[in-house]
Structure 1
Amino acid sequence: MKTQGKYGVTATAAAQVLCEDVRNFSTRRRNILYLMHRYLVENGFYSSAESLKSEGRLSEEYELCDNIDLDGMYLEYASFFNMKFGKYPKILKKAGPKIKLEMGGKSQEKKESKEQPAKKPQNPEASVANWHLSVGAATAALSNEPLQIKKMETTTAVESNTQENACEIEHGHLGSDDNLFSSLDWQSLAELVKTSILQENIKLRWSDVCGNQRAIELIKEAVLTPIEFPQLFAHGLKPWRSLLLHGPPGSGKTLLAKALYSETQGQVTFFNITASIMVSKWRGESEKILRVLFHMAAKRAPSVIFLDEIESLTSKRDRATDHESSKRFKNELLQLLDGMEHTLNGVFVLASTNLPWDIDEAFLRRFEKKLLVQLPNEAERSCLISRLLGSSISLSPRLLEHLVEISNQFTGDEIRLACKEISMHRVRCATKIADRSTCPLKESQAAIEANVEKAFRQVRPLGQKLLAKHEQWQQENGS
């Protein structure tokens, strides 16, 4: 699309030319050489600048712009890195220890030769021979003489090794054993992933969940059974690695995840993954965050990765509207999920969705169990209503039976909202917000029952519309 305005076409053409220059390797190489040449001249390295000019074949045809120099680019990059990661980049690091080569059977001769003063080679052929002697490991191997490689212990090397052993990454493993976090960029991503680890004090038990016993049993088999009975999985049997929960909104999928976190707090590392953590505007960074997540989960095993509303991350890949970055992210997630059986032992992926039919088939295959979270039945609705309203009002058996009948096809969250409306009505009466004529200080039993019934009838169940579709999908794809 051409830019509107008097100079729109010219601006668009210039932008295209600049874009091609940035992507062209030869152009980038030429620009870097000119930047280096100016930096050498400005800092007094004139002979080096002349050598660079001759070897790089820099002509007088081009010259650098006034607002571009190597030092300014360095400062701009450092500022950008600090804004992105909250710290400045580390450009240089101490070099590793030097390697000493010794030929078998000739070490004594080398020691004697070192004691004598060094002499300069008389001709170029001698220098070439010395060069081959220093780096000719292949020649030594052919001559059947053992090649000994020794690490030269220096004070600097010893200090650096001590510092590396003392430096321990916060996720619980030594940096020497964890090559993934040796780079500063990966460490910054690891700090971002650590923010997804739940640290809250949630008081919730399995008994607080009404219904969904099948889902509770599967979650216990996958997470708690390997911890309590590890001997059962010592001969090749492996617990469930992934579970997909689907159902209408408000059916209790996230509540099951909260109960799992509360029951396993202190035993299992729980990663609560959201889109704000996984999605990044920088190219390739989302895939790195994903790999860091699974790597940290494996290092902190046993661990649980909870992906709520997973259809936003695992939609079908054949859509024309998908961006390239989205496709790369999905491919990376597919590879990590497929490799869990072999490398990511002790990691359990728990996912929930309201739209399982929007998930790509490749992701569905990688979920070992796919389970429908059902709506509460009559007994479960009666238990839930009694638990939510039993402390505020007295429920007669007739009224409780009537409320159970009204709440047919209600999700657990919709029953909670109806009970909350009843409690808020009593709060309004206590704080004298409502009119005295409609809200007396002491209501009769008939008025209380009428208000309770009114609160339940105000709720419009949404799960009823999607339940049939979820049941059909479970029959076709569930396990």
Structure 2
Amino acid sequence: MSREDDIRNAAARRRNLLFLTERFLADYGFHQTSETLKNEARLPADTYELCDNIDLDSIYLEYASYYHLKFGKYPKIVRKLKSNVNTELDMKRKPKSKCRLTAATTNAAQTEMPPAESLTIPGDLELIVTKVEMVKAGVEGAEAGGTIIPVAATNGDGENNRNETLTRLQEIEHLTIADGLLSQQDWQNLADLVKTTIMRDVLKLSWADMCGNASAVEIVKEAVVTPLKYPQLFVNGLRPWKSVLLHGPPGSGKTMLAKILYAETRQQVTFFNVTSSVVVSKWRGESEKIMRILFHMAVKYSPSIIFFDEIEGLTSSRDRPSDHESSKRFKNELLQLLDGMEQQMGGVFVLASSNLPWDIDDAFLRRFEKKLLVQLPNPVERAILIGKQLPISLTVSKEQMELLVRISEHFTGDDIRLACKEISMQMVRRVTRADKHTTKTEQEVPLQQAFEQIKPLSVKLMKRHQIWQEEHSS
């Protein structure tokens, strides 16, 4: 018989359900009930046994997740009875281990139900799990809006075990999609992958290392640093910036700003450095799952920062004919997660950088509360950068510095770094040169030549970024 026939066969299906129920009862301490079920159902324990990778709890969670994905809501497993049903706990019959379910009507007397069986769970914890619905206020031990109530000893470790058990039962009953999905092995594997994006390196950077772009630095501080220092300021509906897009020519300092933010908040904030290699998968539907887990973990470990470097690769326009269906699904998932941040993603700040902001879909642009142009360094800032990047052993006169500042017009911070590195390498070459009979003129480092050989890309890109910023500024 094939697996499909085995599933569709009514007798086999009934047998499997009985085995699952028996294992569930045994796992939760209903040993006497479990033995009774095996005897009455005549389960062939000598012929069949339940597989190790399946249980009733995981089936419940998977069904709830499937139902939510298909219908957009969670299944309703139990519902309240009519108003003529009342629930009570009877502690008179047997202390700590008995309860009585009582049904009452307005015109009839209350009818006593048979008492529930007493349980013993490892750790000397007596637990009774019963479905309870509360209609009248003041019913002791009942949980308004809940359906599972444990009755246990209240001394020592028993109280802690009772609270842990209650918490776990409530998490299963009031299932959220992320918690439910993470309980499955395949989703847990994706969560482990997302954890690799959490930065743990020690970077010796500070705000002083960011030369220029005071407005961008101020906005980033308002979004992350200020709420950490002054949480009392964000009350009565006032919330810090939730998302910022940095754009500018390559090498202008966008990633540098993200590194400094991480270094300054490393002990207080969880920093997710997200790249395409992590979130893009060849398997159907897996990219959307990774993105959902990413935002769920960001909330779990909040306050947190999600940094998307070169985000235009993930958020390009959705109306392109060349876009595959999987790419559109991924973008729609990311749009939904970003749109739900204000209501659900508390404590999460999204920081993104882009060299080509005009390639980003308009729907994503709307999600970013601030769009900031990272400017090129001005003459004073270029002089500071050159002074920091040049070798310490090299002495530069005032006239030489002014010349380098003029030559470096339209240079990004990275262009200046490359020019200064070229000067350092020229000094290394002269030290390692075999021919020691060089003239004094040849020993001098040609500073001007090192800067002139750099051809900055920002000359043709910066103007386009400025036009785009004027059209989309926020």
- Is TM more than 0.5 here? yes
1:476 pairs with 2:471: yes
Distance 1:109 1:369, change over 3 A: closer
AA aligned to 1:363 is F
Counterparts of 1:176 and 1:308 in 2: how far apart (Å)?
33
Q: Answer yes or no: is the 8 Å Cα contact 1:100–1:150 preserved in 2.
A: no
AA aligned to 2:467 is Q
1:120-171: per-residue Cα shift (whole Å, max 9, x none)?
Answer: xxxxxxxxxxxxxxxxx9xxx9xxxxxx9886879xxx99x959949x99xx
Secondary structure of the 2:444 match is: helix
Q: Answer yes or no: is the 8 Å Cα contact 1:165–1:176 preserved in 2.
A: no
AA aligned to 2:385 is L
Counterparts of 2:181 and 2:284 in 1: how far apart (Å)?
19
| 1:77-156 alignment runs, 5 A limit | 90-92=53-55, 103-104=103-104, 108=112, 110=114
Secondary structure of the 1:357 match is: helix
Distance 1:94 1:150, change over 3 A: closer
Counterparts of 1:89 and 1:308 in 2: how far apart (Å)?
42
Deviation at 1:256, TM superposition (A): 0.2
AA aligned to 2:227 is P
| 1:443-458 alignment runs, 5 A limit | 443=440, 448=444, 451-458=446-453
Deviation at 1:301, TM superposition (A): 1.5
Aligned partner of 1:80 in structure 2 is none
Q: Answer yes or no: is the 8 Å Cα contact 1:298–1:347 preserved in 2.
A: yes
Distance 1:469 1:34, change over 3 A: same
1:66-107: per-residue Cα shift (whole Å, max 9, x none)?
Answer: xxxxxxxxxxxxxxxxxxxxxx993235699xx997645676
Q: Greater helix percent: which structure? A: 1
Aligned partner of 2:261 in structure 1 is 260
| 1:320-469 alignment runs, 5 A limit | 320-389=321-390, 391-432=392-433, 435-436=435-436, 440=438, 443=440, 448=444, 451-469=446-464
Secondary structure of the 1:419 match is: helix
Deviation at 1:432, TM superposition (A): 2.8
AA aligned to 2:447 is V
1:330-377: per-residue Cα shift (whole Å, max 9, x none)?
Answer: 011111111111111111110000000000000011111101111111
Distance 1:37 1:267, change over 3 A: closer
AA aligned to 1:92 is D
Q: Answer yes or no: is the 8 Å Cα contact 2:191–2:293 preserved in 1.
A: yes
Q: Answer yes or no: is the 8 Å Cα contact 1:388–1:416 preserved in 2.
A: yes
Q: Answer yes or no: is the 8 Å Cα contact 2:100–2:112 preserved in 1.
A: no
Deviation at 1:431, TM superposition (A): 2.5
Secondary structure of the 2:268 match is: coil
Deviation at 1:209, TM superposition (A): 1.2
Secondary structure of the 1:204 match is: coil
Q: Answer yes or no: is the 8 Å Cα contact 1:243–1:369 preserved in 2.
A: yes
Q: Answer yes or no: is the 8 Å Cα contact 2:306–2:349 preserved in 1.
A: yes
AA aligned to 1:251 is S
Equivalent pairs counted in the alignment come to 356
Aligned partner of 1:186 in structure 2 is 187
Distance 1:299 1:37, change over 3 A: closer
Aligned partner of 1:209 in structure 2 is 210
Q: Answer yes or no: is the 8 Å Cα contact 1:254–1:352 preserved in 2.
A: yes
AA aligned to 2:190 is L
Secondary structure of the 2:343 match is: coil
Counterparts of 2:382 and 2:315 in 1: how far apart (Å)?
33
Q: Answer yes or no: is the 8 Å Cα contact 1:100–1:152 preserved in 2.
A: no
Aligned partner of 1:308 in structure 2 is 309
Distance 1:244 1:401, change over 3 A: same
Counterparts of 1:466 and 1:214 in 2: how far apart (Å)?
21
1:283 pairs with 2:279: no
Query: Which one has a bigger Cα radius of gyration?
Result: 1
Counterparts of 1:184 and 1:101 in 2: how far apart (Å)?
38
Q: Answer yes or no: is the 8 Å Cα contact 1:294–1:336 preserved in 2.
A: yes
Counterparts of 2:5 and 2:55 in 1: how far apart (Å)?
23
Q: Answer yes or no: is the 8 Å Cα contact 1:305–1:347 preserved in 2.
A: yes
Deviation at 1:300, TM superposition (A): 1.5
Q: Answer yes or no: is the 8 Å Cα contact 1:100–1:151 preserved in 2.
A: no
Counterparts of 2:394 and 2:52 in 1: how far apart (Å)?
63
Deviation at 1:323, TM superposition (A): 0.7
Percent of residue pairs bearing the same amino acid type: 54
Contiguous gaps of at least 5 residues in structure 2:
16-50, 61-98, 118-131, 136-141, 169-173
Counterparts of 1:370 and 1:89 in 2: how far apart (Å)?
52
AA aligned to 1:312 is G
Aligned partner of 1:121 in structure 2 is none
Q: Answer yes or no: is the 8 Å Cα contact 1:245–1:351 preserved in 2.
A: yes
Distance 1:319 1:219, change over 3 A: same
Q: Answer yes or no: is the 8 Å Cα contact 1:286–1:329 preserved in 2.
A: yes
Distance 1:299 1:89, change over 3 A: farther
Counterparts of 1:454 and 1:163 in 2: how far apart (Å)?
76
Q: RCO greater where, 1 or 2, for CA within 8 Å and sep 6 or more?
A: 1
Distance 1:31 1:192, change over 3 A: same
1:223 pairs with 2:224: yes
